[in-house]
Structure 1
Amino acid sequence: MKIKKLLAVGLLLLGTSAVSAQVDENCLSNSSISHESVKAGNFKDAYAPWKEVIKDCPLLRYYTFTDGFKILTSFLDANEKGSAEYDQYFIELMDLHDKRIEFIPQFNANGVTNIPTPAGALGLKLIDYLAYAPTPDVNQAYAWAKESIEAERENSQPAVFFYFVNMSETKLQQDPSLKETFINDYLLASQLADEALAVAKDNHKPVYQGVKDNLTALFINSGAADCESLQNIYGPKVEENKDNLEYLKKVLEILKNMRCTDQEAYAQAAFYSYQIEPTAEAAVGCGLRAYKKGDINEAIKFFDESIELEADATKKAEKAYASATVLFSAKRLSQSRSYALKALSYDANYGNAYILIAKLYASSPNWSDDPILNKCTYFLIVDKLQRAKSVDSSVSSEANELIRLYSQYTPSAQDLFMLGYKKGDSITIGGWIGESTTIR
Structure 2
Amino acid sequence: MKKLLLIGFVVCMNAAAIAQPGWNWPEEVDKAKEKNALYVDAVKSKQYAVAVAPHQWLLDNCPDLNESLYINGAKIYEGLEDKESDPAKQLSYQEKALKMYDDRIKYFGDEANVLNRKAFAAYKFYKGNQSKYKELLDLFDKTFDMNGVETMDNNLVAYMDVVRRYKLSGGAISDEDVIDRYGKISDVIAEKDAVKSDSKYTVYQENVDKLLTATVDVNCEFVETKLVPKMNETKDPKMAKKVFQLLLSAKCTDSPAFVQAGELVYKAEPSYGMAKVLGIKFAADNQYSKAAEYYNAAVGMSDDNLKKAEIYLNMAQMFASSGQKSEARNYARKALANDPSAGEAYTLIGNLYFQSYNDCRQGVSKVDDRLVFIAAYNQYKKAGNTAMMAKAQEQFPSISEIFELGLAEGQSMTLGCWINETVTLERRPN
TM-score, shorter chain, exceeding 0.5: yes
**What SS is found at the alignment partner of 1:160?**
helix
- 1:62 paired to 2:67: yes
Partners of 2:83 and 2:96 lie apart in 1 by: 15
Task: Say if 1:123 and 1:148, in contact at 8 Å, map to a contact too.
Answer: yes
Tell me how far 1:144 sits from its aligned partner.
2.1
Q: What RMSD, in angstroms, separates the aligned Cα atoms of the two structures?
A: 5.1
Name the counterpart of 1:364: 352
- 1:80 paired to 2:68: no
Matching residue within 20, 25, 32 for 2:30: 25
Matching residue within 130, 135, 138 for 1:143: 138
Partners of 2:294 and 2:414 lie apart in 1 by: 35
Partners of 1:150 and 1:312 lie apart in 2 by: 34
Name the counterpart of 1:218: 211
Matches within 5 A, 1:93-242: 93-105=97-109, 117-133=110-126, 135-136=129-130, 137-173=132-168, 174=170, 178-197=174-193, 199-200=195-196, 208=201, 210-219=203-212, 224-238=217-231, 241=233
Partners of 1:149 and 1:309 lie apart in 2 by: 35
**What SS is found at the alignment partner of 1:22?**
coil
TM-score (norm 2): 0.62
Which structure 2 segments of 5+ residues have no match? Answer: 1-24, 358-369, 400-407, 424-430
Partners of 1:252 and 1:340 lie apart in 2 by: 34
TM-score (norm 1): 0.61
Matching residue within 377, 380, 390 for 2:379: 377
Matching residue within 289, 292, 310 for 1:300: 289
Name the counterpart of 2:255: 263
Task: Say if 2:241 and 2:262, in contact at 8 Å, map to a contact too.
Answer: no
Letter in 2 for 1:94: L
Partners of 2:349 and 2:311 lie apart in 1 by: 21
Tell me how far 1:375 sits from its aligned partner.
3.5
Letter in 2 for 1:100: R
Partners of 1:23 and 1:163 lie apart in 2 by: 44
Task: Say if 1:190 and 1:212, in contact at 8 Å, map to a contact too.
Answer: yes
Tell me how far 1:92 sits from its aligned partner.
0.9
Tell me how far 1:307 sits from its aligned partner.
5.6
Partners of 2:57 and 2:204 lie apart in 1 by: 39
Which structure 1 segments of 5+ residues have no match? Answer: 1-19, 106-116, 383-405, 422-426
Matching residue within 235, 252, 267 for 2:240: 252
Name the counterpart of 2:14: none
Partners of 1:175 and 1:154 lie apart in 2 by: 27
- The number of residue pairs the alignment matches comes to 358
Partners of 1:337 and 1:420 lie apart in 2 by: 28
Post-superposition Cα deviations, 1:215-250, rounded to whole Å, max 9, x if no partner, equal 3443455565544542333344456x1xx332xx34
Task: Say if 1:320 and 1:342, in contact at 8 Å, map to a contact too.
Answer: yes
Partners of 1:256 and 1:313 lie apart in 2 by: 22
Partners of 1:143 and 1:255 lie apart in 2 by: 25
Partners of 1:61 and 1:435 lie apart in 2 by: 85
Distance 1:410 1:343, change over 3 A: closer
Letter in 2 for 1:168: V
Partners of 1:432 and 1:223 lie apart in 2 by: 56
If you compute each CA radius of gyration, which structure gives the higher value, 1 or 2?
2
**What SS is found at the alignment partner of 2:79?**
helix
**What SS is found at the alignment partner of 1:80?**
coil
Partners of 1:291 and 1:195 lie apart in 2 by: 31
Q: Between the two proteins, what is the percent identity of the paired residues?
A: 18
Letter in 2 for 1:129: A
